[in-house]
């Protein structure tokens, strides 16, 4: 009996939140199932294979697709197929306005077409409603239909990448915050440090490193400067906690105010956007397997943090300090230096979050990161790290951050209005803490 209870407790402790994440994904997949209309190249190819292949005789074609990456990808295989068959075709990759202009012009020239093909994205272009007016020859036009497959929007590749992309900044913050919370402290300044790092580095680029003409080396230098400043500030709040025994809540509350004020002063309350195109590399670029650089960065941060916590002496010290500070001190753990490390690493990661956000938005503004400290704390707590310190792990934090991202994304996809979104998010955090309590009650070992 106790064995079963303990096993349940262990399972809950290790996989509880991951299970919640899986359940949430399953839920949002179930409620976002739609007829998935393939777009882009796939749509073009399918059209060539199915409908266009059944057409016999010399037909004249008119093809429309929206002016987008998908639109061009849609048009390409169709164009290719027609060229092979030697069928006269005109292809437009364009906007509704230009469709209208094109149709009028073709009608005026007395051109005749047998088929009009439009990309899936044009389904709601009402300009086609007037097709028969604009091209009278199409009056008896009939619609050929294809069938899509049913698939949840939530589980599309683009959406899953969105979820990951959207949580990068909060996740990086919460990785750093995990260190501080493990030592039994808290850092409220991380949100303001996002703004400060973003403003300092963009301003350096604008004023000192060549503005929109800045080289990649200059961008790196500016980013490192932002990071270093944040790390120093973290060191200062750590020193206030260690040297003067200030409660971390108060010390970092002061830093939060000061850093935010500094960001407003340095930017004069405006966004700084005179940065080069290449500055979006980190935030918007994609690399190997189409993975966004931002997501790769996040995974690297978590891998490093995980190794640090599980494989190094410093990692063990962080747990020890949070578990029992007095005992750690007596057994020779350099408590002060461990804490200094936790606060400066946390602040440096907040700075990294700021650089990331500046890159995503290609600008720095003092309003960035407002109340992000609360999201980060929520991610850490939802991930199962105890606010009293000594317990938890950084992979749990990643799961926590993903849970928050999935809930936000899922509610956006299902069209839940934003007031309700806040309530739901609050309830989730509450549920996570309750679950944490439940773990403690089920397994006596869980609370040590």
CA dihedral 196, 198, 204, 210 (to 10 degrees): -170
Task: Give the nearest distance from C-beta 34 to other proteins in angstroms.
Answer: 8
Which of 162/278 has CB closer to other proteins?
Answer: 162
Which of 134/325 has CB closer to other proteins?
Answer: 134
Which of 281/329 has CB closer to other proteins?
Answer: 281
Which of 41/308 has CB closer to other proteins?
Answer: 41
Instruction: Check: CB of residue 146 under 8 Å from CB of residue 28.
Output: no
Which of 283/400 has CB closer to other proteins?
Answer: 283
Which of 248/271 has CB closer to other proteins?
Answer: 271
Task: Give Cα 204 to chain centroid, integer Å.
Answer: 26
Task: Give the nearest distance from C-beta 126 to other proteins in angstroms.
Answer: 4
Please tell me the distance from the alpha carbon of residue 3 to that of residue 398, in angstroms, as a whole number. 30
Task: Give the nearest distance from C-beta 1 to other proteins in angstroms.
Answer: 47
Instruction: Check: CB of residue 218 under 8 Å from CB of residue 205.
Output: yes
Task: Give the nearest distance from C-beta 122 to other proteins in angstroms.
Answer: 6
Tell me the CA end-to-end span of the chain in Å, nearest whole number. 21
Please tell me the distance from the alpha carbon of residue 448 to that of residue 440, in angstroms, as a whole number. 9
Which of 38/334 has CB closer to other proteins?
Answer: 38
Which of 80/130 has CB closer to other proteins?
Answer: 130
Which of 169/177 has CB closer to other proteins?
Answer: 169
Task: Give the nearest distance from C-beta 294 to other proteins in angstroms.
Answer: 12
CA angle 255, 166, 362 (to 5 degrees): 70
CA dihedral 222, 225, 229, 231 (to 10 degrees): 120
Task: Give the nearest distance from C-beta 116 to other proteins in angstroms.
Answer: 5
Please tell me the distance from the alpha carbon of residue 303 to that of residue 388, in angstroms, as a whole number. 24
- Nearest Cα residue to 168 out of 308, 356, 403, 428: 356
Task: Give the nearest distance from C-beta 198 to other proteins in angstroms.
Answer: 10
Instruction: Check: CB of residue 145 under 8 Å from CB of residue 90.
Output: no
Task: Give the nearest distance from C-beta 67 to other proteins in angstroms.
Answer: 6
Instruction: Check: CB of residue 154 under 8 Å from CB of residue 25.
Output: yes
Question: Residues 332-339: contacts with CB within 8 Å, 24+ apart?
Answer: 335/242, 336/242, 336/243, 338/183, 338/314, 339/183, 339/185, 339/238, 339/241, 339/242
Please tell me the distance from the alpha carbon of residue 7 to that of residue 442, in angstroms, as a whole number. 9
Instruction: Check: CB of residue 191 under 8 Å from CB of residue 256.
Output: yes
Task: Give the nearest distance from C-beta 326 to other proteins in angstroms.
Answer: 42
């Amino acid at each position: 009996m106790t064995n079963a209870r303990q096993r349940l407790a262990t399972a809950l402790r290790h996989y509880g939140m991951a299970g919640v994440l899986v359940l949430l994904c399953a839920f949002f997949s179930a409620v976002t199932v739609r007829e998935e209309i393939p777009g882009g190249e796939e749509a073009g190819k399918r059209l060539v294979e199915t409908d266009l292949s059944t057409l016999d005789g010399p037909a004249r074609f008119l093809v429309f697709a929206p002016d987008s990456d998908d639109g061009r990808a849609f048009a390409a295989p169709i164009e290719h197929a027609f060229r092979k068959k030697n069928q006269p075709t005109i292809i437009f990759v364009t906007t509704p306005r230009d469709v209208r202009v094109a149709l009028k012009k073709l009608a005026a020239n007395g051109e005749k077409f047998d088929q009009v093909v439009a990309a899936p994205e044009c389904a709601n272009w009402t300009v086609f409603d007037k097709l028969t007016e604009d091209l009278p020859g199409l009056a008896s036009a009939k619609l050929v239909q294809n069938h899509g497959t049913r698939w949840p929007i939530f589980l599309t590749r683009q959406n899953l990448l969105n979820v990951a992309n959207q949580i990068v900044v909060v996740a990086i913050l919460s990785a750093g915050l995990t260190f501080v919370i493990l030592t039994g402290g808290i850092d409220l300044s991380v949100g303001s440090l996002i703004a400060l790092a973003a403003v300092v580095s963009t301003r350096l680029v604008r004023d000192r490193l060549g503005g929109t003409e800045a080289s990649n080396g200059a961008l790196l230098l500016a980013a490192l400067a932002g990071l270093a400043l944040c790390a120093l500030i973290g060191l200062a709040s750590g020193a206030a906690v260690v040297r003067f025994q200030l409660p971390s809540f108060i010390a970092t509350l002061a830093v939060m105010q000061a850093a935010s004020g500094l960001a407003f002063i340095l930017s004069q309350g405006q966004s700084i956007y005179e940065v080069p195109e290449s500055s979006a590399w980190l935030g918007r670029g994609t690399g190997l397997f189409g993975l966004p650089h931002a997501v790769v960065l996040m995974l690297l941060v978590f891998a490093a943090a995980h190794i640090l916590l599980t494989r190094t002496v410093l990692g063990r010290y962080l747990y020890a300090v949070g578990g029992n500070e007095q005992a750690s001190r007596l057994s020779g753990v350099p408590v002060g230096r461990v804490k200094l490390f936790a606060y400066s690493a946390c602040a440096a990661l907040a700075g990294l979050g700021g650089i990331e956000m500046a890159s995503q938005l290609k600008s720095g503004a003092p309003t960035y990161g407002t109340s992000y400290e609360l999201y980060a704390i929520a991610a850490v707590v939802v991930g199962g790290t105890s606010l009293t310190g000594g317990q938890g792990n950084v992979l749990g934090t990643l799961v926590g951050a993903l849970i928050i991202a999935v809930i936000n994304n899922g509610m956006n996809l299902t069209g839940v209005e934003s007031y309700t979104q806040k309530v739901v998010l609050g309830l989730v955090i509450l549920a996570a803490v309750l679950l944490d309590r439940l773990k403690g009650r089920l397994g006596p070992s869980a609370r040590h």
